[in-house]
């Protein structure tokens, strides 16, 4: 489908995933806790592509690398939030967890507004 492509970026520090931060109550993360967050984001990217086709691209950004230089606005705020942080088209949307269904719903809502 031609048109606007939305970019979903998941920013993280590539540290081991802590699925029990003590503050998330009954929250259930998606993915396999034996995998890295980067591997779980790759699975999310496949799911987003299955649902939205070429309208969405999903990227994993390791904040400890020079890749952050491409995101100066995010670089200013990344240390003020809990990781991982989900950014859609440059706008921080979620932080502190990676919830596949919430990200999908957020992307769906975002795409409905940018038609």
- Note whether 2 and 76 are within 8 A (CB): no
The one-digit pLDDT tens for each residue of the chain (115 residues) are 456 689 999 999 877 655 554 444 444 455 667 778 888 899 999 999 999 999 999 999 999 999 999 999 999 999 999 999 999 999 999 998 888 899 999 999 999 988 6
| CA 12 to mean position of chain CA atoms | 9
* Structural domains of the chain, with CATH: 6-89+96-113 (3.40.30)
* Beta strands in the chain, from DSSP E residues, in sequence order: 6-12, 56-62, 85-88, 91-95
């Amino acid at each position: 489908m031609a048109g606007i492509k939305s970019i979903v970026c998941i920013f993280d520090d590539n540290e081991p995933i802590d699925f029990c931060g003590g503050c998330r109550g009954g929250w259930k993360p998606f993915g396999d806790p034996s995998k890295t967050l980067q591997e779980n984001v790759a699975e999310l990217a496949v799911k987003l592509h299955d649902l939205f086709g070429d309208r969405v691209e999903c990227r994993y950004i390791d904040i400890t690398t020079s890749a952050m230089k491409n995101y100066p606005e995010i670089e200013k705020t990344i240390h003020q939030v809990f990781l991982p942080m989900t950014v859609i088209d440059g706008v921080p949307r979620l932080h502190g967890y990676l919830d596949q269904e919430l990200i999908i719903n957020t992307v769906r809502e975002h795409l409905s507004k940018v038609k």
